[in-house]
Each structure stands twice: as structure tokens, then as C-alpha cells.
Amino acid sequence: MLFNFAMVPLEEVQPWGKPGRLSLSWFGLTDSQYWVQAGTSVLLEYSDVARRLGSSRYCDYQVVRLYEDVMALLPYVLEPVPADLIQYISGDRSCVLERAAAWHAANSERDDDLYWEIIDDSSTWIGNRSLYFSYLSPSANILMWSDESLVHIEWDNRAKLVDGFCAWSAECGSHSLPRSEFEEEVQSFHKRLMDEMSVRVSRVVAGGLSADVHVDIPGLLREHEQRKLLPASAFELPSSHTDWQAVRKALLAVDCQGSVD
């Protein structure tokens, strides 16, 4: 499976708040270790050094956060990147980033609309295909994008360090899979998470938590029913799909490293 998780036993889930005001929500109840099996590489698995320093084996957080981020990226991931722009998102992007930094420095005193359009158009389309891990320390750098036939997962965690060593076991690499297989993996992730949460929610409703942990039971049940419904729009392109011509114009400006009027 591509997206994997192991939930913390219900009795070990740490409630939020202070003694006397402890609570848990649907989000908090998804406390897990989770990882991404990208071919032979395991993403979000801590390195041996990080584990010797006290880290768990895998990312330790509420797995619904990964789920929400995957679902938010999904329409963009499934929007094929034009062949002439793949060089900007795939492989070693250091030279592209260096040119972008040089352009920003050369135009740092500007505050006009075109300046901000170039910054936005040259980077947002990549951000829309980047998983968000700023809640981790150190974070992880993982991209998901597609061409006409394959979805590509790429990662570069060489700068994510603990005590001078890479924090993650998968430092730099890529993995590709057919678009249909990727969609099936996302649907599987949704089903497995909701199935496990159905069991967990039932246990909470039956009194499976300590009496001093407050849970809004009606709200928990409503949220669970809502989350079980995978939106039909999840696999559709967003209404504001990428303006590739604007992206090309912005990247051309950054490549030239000059001031654009």
C-alpha cells in the first residue's frame, strides 16, 4: 500500500487540554504513526540516527492530517504537468531555485502587481503539488505530480537534519505509478481510515475513554458521517485549474533574472 498508518491504541491517545479540561475530537482520535511506501523507499520513516535520539520509527501525528493534505492536493496531482515544464518540478531543482532567488533579490524593492504575479505564478503550481509537513520538526520535502500516464512521487530530504545527520531514512529519490493505480491507493487510504475510525468512534460512544476526557458525542458522530463520504469532486480538476501560460511567462522572467516591466 502507498499510504500506511498504525493507530495508537485508544487508551493511549493523549487528550488535549489541561487536567479538568481534557477533551478529544475526531481529529485527535486519529493519533497514529504513518508512512508512505514509495516503491522500495519508505517516506516519513525516521533515520537510524533520529531513532537513536528518541524518535519513533515513523511520523507520529494525527494521520488525518496526511489524509487531508493528500485530498487537497489530489486534483492538482492528477492535472498533468505540460512536458516543457517538467524540468521545473522534477529532479534536481537547485538551479531553478537559485535563479528564482536571484530574480527575487534583483527585484526586491518592487511592490507592483506584476512583481507579485511573477512570484505567485512561478511557485504556486509547485506548492499545489507539495505535501505540507511544517507541523514536523524537521519537516519533510515530498512532491506529487503527474504527466499524461504516470503519477510521480519525488522527495529530497537531504537538508532535513538532526545533529547534522539526515532525519529521514529516504533522503532523495523518486517513485512512479500509473494514474489509475494512484487513484486506487487514495481510495484505499480513505476506506481504511474511515473503517478504523468507525470502530474507534463506536468504542468512544460506548465509554471507551476515561470519564475525565470530554468528547462531544453528537458532534463526533456527525463529523464521522460527513468524513465517510468521499467527495465526488475529489478526483476532478479544481475550477481554477492551473494557468500554464501564466506559469510559463513567470518562469521565463525568473530564468532571465532581469526586471520585467
Q: Has residue 258 got a pLDDT over 50? A: no
**How big is the chain, counted in residues?**
261
This prediction has a pTM of 0.91
Residue 95: the pLDDT is: 65
Per-residue pLDDT band for 261 (boundaries 50, 70, 90) equals very low
- Residues 106, 109: Cα–Cα separation, whole Å: 8
Q: What pLDDT shows up at residue 193?
A: 98
> Cα dihedral sign for 8, 11, 16, 19?
negative
Q: What is the biggest distance separating any 2 CA atoms in the chain, rounded to whole angstroms?
A: 65
The answer to whether 117 and 254 have CB atoms below 8 angstroms apart is no
User: Average model confidence (pLDDT) for the chain?
Assistant: 92
